Structures are given as structure tokens and as C-alpha cells.
Amino acid sequence: MEKINVSFSGDVAVVTFTQPKFLDVIDIQQLDCELFEVADSSPSTILLDMSAVNLLSSAALNRLIMLHKCSKAKGKELQLAGITP
């Protein structure tokens, strides 16, 4: 099952998540592969719409941090939207 959906709005790749929790190692590994695939092929900006996500493990959060670093190194911008406390 795909963990994300990607749509494009101009030069922005909008990523939405297909499940509310990312706790399981297998889910996180698949999420990681899908997000980095977007980062490798996307336009200059990646927008992660987090509105459907209720819970992330520290491992999943670490993958988002690595995605940010990778994107920045490639001259791309990573943005987060829809974050709930």
C-alpha cells in the first residue's frame, strides 16, 4: 500500500499521507523510499501536508529530518503544512 499521494501545483509537489500513524518499521521504510523518490524527481519545492497524520515515531521524524537535509543539499525547499499539536 502506498503511504503517500503526490500531486503537483505549478512547481510544487504536494504530498499527502494515506494513513494517520507511522510507527511500524516496515511502514517507515516504505514511507522513506516514497518520500525520497519524490525528492529526487520533484520540482523545486516539496510541500508535506501533515493534516492526516496524528502520530509519528521518532524514527519517522528522523526520516523527515533527513529528507529536509537531502532536499536542501539539492537546492530544493521542504515545507510542512497542516501540523496539529
- Is 33 strand, coil or helix? helix
Q: Which amino acid is at 19?
A: Q
CB atoms within 10 A of CB 33: 11
Q: Which domains does the chain have, with CATH numbers?
A: 4-81 (3.30.750.24)
Separation CA 45–CA 54 (nearest Å): 24
Amino acid 43: pLDDT: 81
What pLDDT sits at residue 84?
84
Per-residue pLDDT of the chain (85 residues; tens, 9 = 90+): 799 999 999 999 999 999 999 999 999 999 999 999 999 887 899 999 999 999 999 999 999 999 999 999 999 999 999 998 7
Would you state the pLDDT for residue 44?
92
